[in-house]
């Protein structure tokens, strides 16, 4: 600052006169404010900014004719340092007389030496700061000591907007030394997200039908001698060219630094603005009329324009509130029905948001951890083969049919994050009529060649904290976001294998996990029956409960492949 003093800012809101606040709290806000001005005024410059809910009109905020006689000044010179008030002109659009709180503001100024900045920094600083259906007034102020006016670089009253009936009060202080950018180390992160929007479903189908010839040519030209990775890449290009303009949007996140966020990390997301779900065309037209009336009032703050502005605002707000109440009633009925018909989706709507984790781990720590995790059991060439196993089931190697793929497409879940290729499940489900021939041909080529596409094994790995120390990578479970087309391919294989296992009695009755129609409740029932039988016969029963730590991380893939080979499942088909 220009005079090297600290600046103490006080943001304040004073409730209106006769507000319930004064019945609940026995205090005088202006007396408390007076005490703070005296305390912090001795430490540096002070600035009081806010809604004081008082109208002062054109009354003086200083003591007129405050000069003392020469004899009296000589008598008190050794006792106190008396500085008389300096008269200063102030302009304002508010010509109404001061009200109760306005007089208290004037008394505060005269007793503490602070001055009203409104109207002392050009014509724009004396404008109305508040307007409603009852009229306009100045009730939002900036108070500064008269000698501190030199630190004000600019002061003005902004235009009224749709967010409030108060106009913004803008003040720019002259700061000396480091600027805010010297302290701030915030980072801007930009990335793309892909979300399905039902409104564009028909547009996507239309564009897909327009590309039917290209898809047909790709199906006809596809054969086993082609490079699988090139085929999948071309397929993904076709899909993305159709869906990207309807599903892609850019997200901007600001990772705030400790200085800007009070040493608390926070992510502020800014995206494109969307209409509220209850807004209709009629409401939009009323809003546009309200905006035009607001612009007209800001250009010419006449009584006629003010009345037109408040009538337009009242019509818009009445319509919005009616639509909002109707929407909430419909949503309430919908949730009531959803609770009975789809409880899983119902409770997902009210799931608590996860707390932000404060961890010292870096991205390199997770990369090292997951690399070590997946490289424990590499398959060596020649170590796994099917030469020693004579039993082979040819029905597992037969070409896929469109009916098989269609069954698995119907099981795809919506609202799932896409993989590295950014293809959404909703796209596959909604456009399956056109996509099934292409997917069937592609899956059969992959089945015959035994080559799994690279893009399908490229995933976005998300570490999910489980429990324990947040600074230990071993306490995080990796969630892989893989290609939905690749998951559909494995789903078709899984469906075929499960059907084959059931027909050939591969799985025993003791297997409860990962089998449709079975779960932990069946295991609990079996254990309960054994316990009851032992109690009836008066015999002892010994139970051993085993909980394997990180079981999936420690399972040997080599042993799994050898087990499948022994059962007659060929590696070429399912590798």
Let me know: does 482 contact 457? Beta carbons within 8 Å: yes
What is the value of pTM for the model shown? 0.58
3-state SS, residue 191? strand
Query: Within 13 Å, how many C-alpha atoms sit on residue 167's CB side?
Result: 28
Angstrom distance (rounded) from CA 279 to CA 504: 59
Q: Let me know if 329 is exposed, middle or buried by CB neighbors in 10 A (0-12, 13-18, 19+).
A: exposed
* 407 touches 395 (CB < 8 A): no
User: Within 13 Å and on the Cβ side, how many CA atoms surround 29?
Assistant: 19
Whether the Cβ atoms of residue 483 and residue 455 lie closer than 8 Å to each other: yes
Q: Are 162 and 69 in contact (CB under 8 A)?
A: no
Chain centroid, CA 437 distance in Å = 38
Residue 88 exposed, middle or buried by CB count within 10 Å (0-12, 13-18, 19+): middle
Q: Domain boundaries in the chain?
A: 7-173, 191-255+367-506+545-567, 281-350
Residue 574 and residue 490 in contact, taking contact as beta carbons nearer than 8 Å:
no
Task: List the chain pLDDT tens, one digit each, 575 residues.
Answer: 445 688 899 999 999 988 888 888 888 899 999 999 999 988 888 999 999 999 999 998 888 766 656 665 666 665 666 566 677 888 999 989 999 999 999 999 988 889 999 999 988 899 999 999 899 999 999 999 878 888 888 899 999 999 999 999 999 888 776 565 666 777 888 888 899 988 888 999 899 888 888 888 887 877 766 678 888 888 888 888 899 889 998 888 887 776 666 544 343 333 445 678 899 999 999 999 999 999 999 999 899 999 999 999 999 999 999 999 999 999 888 888 888 888 877 887 777 666 666 678 888 888 888 888 776 555 554 555 545 555 567 778 888 999 999 999 999 998 898 988 899 999 999 998 889 988 998 898 888 888 888 888 888 888 888 888 888 888 888 888 999 999 999 999 989 888 888 888 888 877 887 787 788 888 889 899 999 999 999 999 998 888 877 777 777 777 887 887 777 776 554 44
CA distance 339 to 41: 60
Question: Does domain 7-173 match CATH 3.30.505.50?
Answer: no
Residue 230 token pair? 């090139």
């Amino acid at each position: 600052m220009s005079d090297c003093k600290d600046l103490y800012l006080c943001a304040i809101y004073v409730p209106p006169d006769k507000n319930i606040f004064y019945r609940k709290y026995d205090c005088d806000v202006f007396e408390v404010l007076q005490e703070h001005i005296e305390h912090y005024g001795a430490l540096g410059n002070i600035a009081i900014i806010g809604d004081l809910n008082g109208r002062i009109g054109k009354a003086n905020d200083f003591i007129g004719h405050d000069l003392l006689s020469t004899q009296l000044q000589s008598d008190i010179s050794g006792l106190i340092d008396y500085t008389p008030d300096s008269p200063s002109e102030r302009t304002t659009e508010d010509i109404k007389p001061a009200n109760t709180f306005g007089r208290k503001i004037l008394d505060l100024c005269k007793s503490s030496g602070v001055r009203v900045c409104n109207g002392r920094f050009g014509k724009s600083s004396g404008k109305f700061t508040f307007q409603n259906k009852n009229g306009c007034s100045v009730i939002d102020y900036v108070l500064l000591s008269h000698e501190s006016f030199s630190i004000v670089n600019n002061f003005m009253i902004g235009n009224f907007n749709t967010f409030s009936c108060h106009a913004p009060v803008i003040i720019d202080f002259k700061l000396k030394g480091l600027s805010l950018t010297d302290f701030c180390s915030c980072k801007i992160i930009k990335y793309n997200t892909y979300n399905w929007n039902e409104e564009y479903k028909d547009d996507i189908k239309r564009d897909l039908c327009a590309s039917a010839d290209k898809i047909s040519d790709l199906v006809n030209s596809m054969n086993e001698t082609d490079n699988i990775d090139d085929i999948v890449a071309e397929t993904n290009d076709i899909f993305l060219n159709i869906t990207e303009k309807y599903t892609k949007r850019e997200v901007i996140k600001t990772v705030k630094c400790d200085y800007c966020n009070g040493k608390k990390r926070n992510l502020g997301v800014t995206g494109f603005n969307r209409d509220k779900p209850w807004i209709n065309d009629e409401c939009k037209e009323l809003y546009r009329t309200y905006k035009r009336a607001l612009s007209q009032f800001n250009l010419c703050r006449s009584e006629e324009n003010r009345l037109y502005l408040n009538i337009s605002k009242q019509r818009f707000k009445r319509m919005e509130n009616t639509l909002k109440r109707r929407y909430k009633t419909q949503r309430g009925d919908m949730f009531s029905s959803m609770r009975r018909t789809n409880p899983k989706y119902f409770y997902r709507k009210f799931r608590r948001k996860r707390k932000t984790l404060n961890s010292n781990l870096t991205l390199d720590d997770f990369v090292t951890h997951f690399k070590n995790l997946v490289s424990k059991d590499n398959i060596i060439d020649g170590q796994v083969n099917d030469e020693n196993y004579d039993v082979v089931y040819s029905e597992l190697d037969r070409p896929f049919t469109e009916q098989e793929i269609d069954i698995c497409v119907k099981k795809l879940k919506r609202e799932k994050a896409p993989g590295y290729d950014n293809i959404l499940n909703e796209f596959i489900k909604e456009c399956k009529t056109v996509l099934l021939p292409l997917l069937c041909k592609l899956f059969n080529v992959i089945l015959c060649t035994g080559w799994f596409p690279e893009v399908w094994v490229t995933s976005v790995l998300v570490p999910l904290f489980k429990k324990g120390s947040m600074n230990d990578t071993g306490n995080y479970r990796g969630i892989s976001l893989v290609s939905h087309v690749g998951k559909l391919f494995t789903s078709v294989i899984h469906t075929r294998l499960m059907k084959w296992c059931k027909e050939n009695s591969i799985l025993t009755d003791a297997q409860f996990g990962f089998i449709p129609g079975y779960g932990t409740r069946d295991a609990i029932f079996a254990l309960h029956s054994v316990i009851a039988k032992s109690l009836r016969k008066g015999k002892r029963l010994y139970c051993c409960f085993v909980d394997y730590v990180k079981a999936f991380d420690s399972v040997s893939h080599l042993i799994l492949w050898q087990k499948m080979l022994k059962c007659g499942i060929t590696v070429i088909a399912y590798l």
